[in-house]
């Protein structure tokens, strides 16, 4: 019996659970099978939460719950070629189409010896015991509807290990492509990143989709940063306007680790990005920032939850967005400072620009401070573009639309300026500039 | 095209309100090409409103009157169309815009004007040459043009940046809204130098100021006193000197 705070759903894909999917993998098959079945059962019993559940207050899964979704089918090679050819290529990359690994289009050979990449269905490399423990933790079933669907219906499981002490200059790109040509399709990519001790690397996730009908891409990414490791993790969500994007990123940080996250949330009809970091080891730094552009009937919901569970950690949350037409943007930022921790520093700021009469932006800072030795700040501002500044630029001959684009760009760039990588700043500032002129009406 | 209008700025009986408050009350002013006019007046007389109206700022209610510049009805034009026509306002308080470097801003503005005038955009190297010429006049370093537009600039730096924009865009009608306020003597000389350079090219220059000190360096052909939204007295350079000595009260009381 489904609770009244949850939706009833009747997704076709629930009947196509593949019992034999991971039968031949090197990993503990019995464990994986048990967890997948438990996840399936959890979802059958609980389905999806409604906005009555506090953390779903601003994001209504109702539209998804009313639709029917199937599992994705195999995509023809010619179609794959078409999907891949237009993509930028920054260097080493892993291409995943509808949750399945595409070895032909992926290339990480240049990282040999520094990085191990496993995909459960075809990889035969052994995995270190310590990393196996992390993977098992990630693949354990839990009481979360979206994670349960993902674990039960992920078509493969990807593990990226950046090896101890390795410093990677070039970013590794994960390109997630979702495509449906017939039915509504649900895709469940699952990625685990293990940043071993003293390693330094950059990972860029790009999410795109092509569909005539509805598509639901439901991502789960689990990350572990071991002692003194550094990971820069960026995501460009640029899925089509018939796609629902739900994503849960969980980061576990051990002592003196440094995690920098940047999200550019641009696509999808409805998108929900949850980023949850647990600072488990002291002297760690966690920086979670990003921006969103929404227009038409888009809805972007970003939920950040940073947990200071050890002393002398620093965290920073910074999200800016711009909303046009009927779009709705939400930022919920939680800071938790655990009991007994010392010398914690946590900052949070969210800002938004409303570009039309009907667009909306909500911000909800939540601070839960259970320790005394804490420096914590939070701030929110939501407003319109500065008319004086628009006039200033126009008075120099710059047309109104371009003047507004320049001001949005200058506003958003503030989220990227502090990102500690020139390469990433360049890639994302160019993406941001390009999308501003494509996206907003601004007249 | 050979009508006399083609070489004149004609402001006729301009009545402007802001939120029902009368700011300009039948202002009439005409300028010929090549002339430099100064408008002086006490606080609240409508000086900044006049400059904003000329540049096309919204938020003003033009009740009646007209502004004709070289045969164009300015009041019907957007700020960017006026810029294309050659109207330039040097702002009293130039805005700080983080995230836009001066060099990019200047290039975008310059190319916007070229494009609107049906010309090809300038190449990056030609632009650099052009802007460096102008920088030299104002003693502005390359380092400064790589900074974000007016962000953390001193009052003097902001005004010099306005002058750099003016020299680059080479306008026909320049309105200088209290460009002299907050400047030290050296900055005042540098700013005046830029204005005089433009002046020598037979343009329309309208200097709006509280004080006469800028007029020591940029000598006006006419000086007008604006009071309660109207020009109440017109004279030459001597009028500005009289005001410096005696204040506005003698003139405003007579009006």
pLDDT in tens, A156-174: 999 999 999 999 999 999 9
- Which sequence spans correspond to the domains of chain B? 4-78+87-95+158-254
pLDDT given for residue B1 in this prediction: 43
Cβ contact, residue pair B57, A391, below 8 Å: yes
Contacts of B56 in chain A (CB under 8 A): 391, 394-395
| Chain A hits for B82, Cβ within 8 Å | 395
Residue B27 Cα, gap to closest chain A Cα (Å) = 23
With CB atoms and an 8 Å threshold, state whether B108 touches A414. no
Residues of A in contact with B94 (CB under 8 A): 392
For A1, other C-beta atoms within 10 Å of its C-beta total 4
How many angstroms away from the CA of A235 is the closest CA of chain B?
22
Taking CB atoms and an 8 Å limit, are B95 and A413 in contact across chains?
no
Nearest Cα of chain B lies from the Cα of A428 at a distance, in angstroms, of: 14
Residues 6 or more apart whose CB falls under 8 angstroms from that of B227 comprise: B41, B42, B45, B248, B251, B252, B255
CB pairs under 8 A between A and B: 78
Tokens for A237, please give them.
């969500």
Contact across the interface for B97 and A392, Cβ inside 8 Å: yes
Greatest CA separation for chain B: 58
Q: What is the per-residue pLDDT for A443? A: 67
Which residue from B99, B105, B116 is facing A414, i.e. has the nearest CB?
B99
Nearest to B66 by CA among B29, B91, B20: B29
Q: Is the pLDDT of residue B3 over 80?
A: no
Name the residue among A386, A387, A413 with its Cβ closest to that of B99: A413
- Write down the pLDDT at residue B174: 97
Residue range B53-90, pLDDT digits in tens: 999 999 999 999 999 999 999 999 999 999 999 999 99
Which residues from chain A sit within 8 angstroms of residue B54, using beta carbons?
Answer: none
Mean pLDDT rounded to a whole number for chain A: 94
User: What is the H or E stretch that residue A206 is in?
Assistant: strand A200-211
Say how far apart CA B48 and CA B64 lie, in whole Å: 18
C-alpha torsion sign, points A221, A412, A367, A363:
negative
Residue with structure tokens 């639709």? A67
CA distance B225 to B248: 9
Distance separating alpha carbons of residues B154 and B168, to the nearest angstrom? 21
Judged by CB atoms closer than 8 Å, whether chains meet at A399 and B89 is answered as no
Residue A274 makes CB contacts below 8 A (sequence gap 6+) with A247, A248, A249, A302, A303, A304, A305
Parse chain A into domains and list their residue ranges: 72-385
Helix, strand or coil, per DSSP, at residue A286: strand
How many Å apart are CA B205 and CA B186, to the nearest integer? 22
> What is B12-41 written as a DSSP string?
EEEEEEETTEEEEEEEEEEEETT-EEEEE-
Residue with tokens 């939501």: A382
B98 vs A contacts (CB less than 8 Å): 410, 413-414
Q: Which of residues A204 and B213 earns the better pLDDT score?
A: A204
* In the predicted structure, residue B2 carries a pLDDT above the cut 60: no
* A397:B80 CB<8 A: yes
Chain B nearest-CA residue for A388: B95
Instruction: Note the pLDDT of residue B99.
Output: 85
Of A415, B153, A393, the C-alpha closest to B143 is B153
Mean pLDDT of B170-190: 92
Task: Locate the DSSP E strands across chain B.
Answer: 8-18, 21-32, 36-40, 61-69, 72-73, 87-90, 97-101, 148-149, 173-177, 204-209, 222-227, 230-235
Residue in A322, A384, A390, A396 to test binding to B, most B beta-carbons within 10 Å = A396
- From the list B58, B80, B148, which residue is nearest A398 (CB)? B80
Q: Which among A223, A323, A303 has a CA at the least distance from the CA of A263? A: A303
CA distance A411 to A405: 10
Q: Please give the ipTM for the structure prediction.
A: 0.96
In A, which residues are within 8 Å of B163 by CB distance? none
Contact between chains at A391 and B108 (C-beta distance less than 8 A):
no
Assigned superfamily of B4-78+87-95+158-254? P-loop containing nucleotide triphosphate hydrolases (3.40.50.300)
> Which residues in chain B are closer than 8 Å to A393, comparing Cβ atoms?
97, 105, 109
Q: Which residues of chain A have pLDDT under 50?
A: none
């Amino acid at each position: 019996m489904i609770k009244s705070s949850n939706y009833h759903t009747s997704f076709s894909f629930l009947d196509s659970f593949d019992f034999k999917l991971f039968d031949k993998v090197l990993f503990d098959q019995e464990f994986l099978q048990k967890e997948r079945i438990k996840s399936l059962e959890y979802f059958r019993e609980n389905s999806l939460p409604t906005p009555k559940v506090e953390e779903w207050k601003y994001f209504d899964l109702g539209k998804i719950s009313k639709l029917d979704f199937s599992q994705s089918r195999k995509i023809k090679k010619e179609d794959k070629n078409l999907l891949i050819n237009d993509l930028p290529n920054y260097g080493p990359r892993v291409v995943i189409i509808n949750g399945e690994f595409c070895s032909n289009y992926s290339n990480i050979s240049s990282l040999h010896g520094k990085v191990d990449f496993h995909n459960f269905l075809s990889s035969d490399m052994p995995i270190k015991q310590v990393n196996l423990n992390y993977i098992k933790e990630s693949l354990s079933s839990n009481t979360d509807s979206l994670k349960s669907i993902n674990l039960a219906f992920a078509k493969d499981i990807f593990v990226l290990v950046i090896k101890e002490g390795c410093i990677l200059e070039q970013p590794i790109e994960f390109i997630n492509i979702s495509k449906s040509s017939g039915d509504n399709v649900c895709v469940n990519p699952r990625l685990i990143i293990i940043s071993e001790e003293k390693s330094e690397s950059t990972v860029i996730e790009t999410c795109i989709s092509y569909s005539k009908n509805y598509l639901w891409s439901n991502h789960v990414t689990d990350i572990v940063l071991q002692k003194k490791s550094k990971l820069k993790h960026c995501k460009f969500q640029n899925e089509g306007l018939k796609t629902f994007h739900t994503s849960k990123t969980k980061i576990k940080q051990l002592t003196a680790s440094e995690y920098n996250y940047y999200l550019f949330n641009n696509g999808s009809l409805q998108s929900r990005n949850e980023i949850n970091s647990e600072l488990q080891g002291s002297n760690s730094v966690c920086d979670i920032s990003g921006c969103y552009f929404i227009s038409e009937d888009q809805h972007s919901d970003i939920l950040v939850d940073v947990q200071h569970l050890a002393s002398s950690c620093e965290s920073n949350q910074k999200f800016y967005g711009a909303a046009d037409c009927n779009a709705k943007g939400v930022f919920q930022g939680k800071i938790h400072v655990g009991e007994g921790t010392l010398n914690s520093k946590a900052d949070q700021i969210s800002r938004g620009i409303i570009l039309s009469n009907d667009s909306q932006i909500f911000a909800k800072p939540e601070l839960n401070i259970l320790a005394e030795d804490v420096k914590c700040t939070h701030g929110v501002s939501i407003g319109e573009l500065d008319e004086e500044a628009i006039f200033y630029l126009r008075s120099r001959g710059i047309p109104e639309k371009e003047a507004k684009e320049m001001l949005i760009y200058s506003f958003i760039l503030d989220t990227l300026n502090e990102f500690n990588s020139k390469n990433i700043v360049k890639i994302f500032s160019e993406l941001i500039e390009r999308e501003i002129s494509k996206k907003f009406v601004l007249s | 095209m050979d009508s006399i209008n083609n070489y004149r700025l004609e402001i006729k009986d301009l009545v402007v309100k802001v939120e029902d408050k009368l700011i300009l009350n039948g202002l009439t002013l005409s300028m010929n090409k090549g002339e430099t006019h100064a408008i002086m007046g006490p606080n609240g007389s409508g000086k900044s409103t006049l400059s904003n109206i000329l540049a096309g700022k919204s938020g003003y209610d033009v009740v009646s009157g007209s502004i004709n510049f070289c045969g164009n009805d300015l009041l019907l034009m957007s700020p960017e169309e006026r810029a294309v026509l050659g109207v330039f306002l040097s702002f009293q308080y130039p805005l700080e815009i983080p995230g836009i470097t001066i060099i990019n801003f200047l290039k975008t503005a310059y190319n916007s004007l070229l494009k609107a005038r049906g010309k090809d955009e300038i190449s990056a190297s030609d632009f650099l040459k052009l802007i460096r010429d102008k920088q030299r006049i104002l003693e502005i370093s390359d380092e400064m043009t790589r900074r974000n537009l007016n962000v953390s600039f001193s009052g003097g730096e902001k005004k010099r940046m306005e002058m750099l924009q003016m020299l680059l865009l080479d306008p026909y009608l320049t309105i200088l809204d209290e460009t002299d306020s907050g400047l030290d003597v050296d900055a005042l000389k540098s700013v005046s130098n830029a204005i005089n350079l433009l002046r020598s090219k037979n343009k329309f220059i309208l200097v709006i100021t509280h004080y006469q000190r800028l007029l020591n360096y940029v000598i006006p052909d006419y000086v007008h006193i604006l009071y309660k939204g109207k020009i109440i007295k017109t004279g030459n350079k001597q009028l500005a000197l009289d005001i410096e000595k005696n204040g506005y009260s003698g003139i405003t009381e007579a009006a």
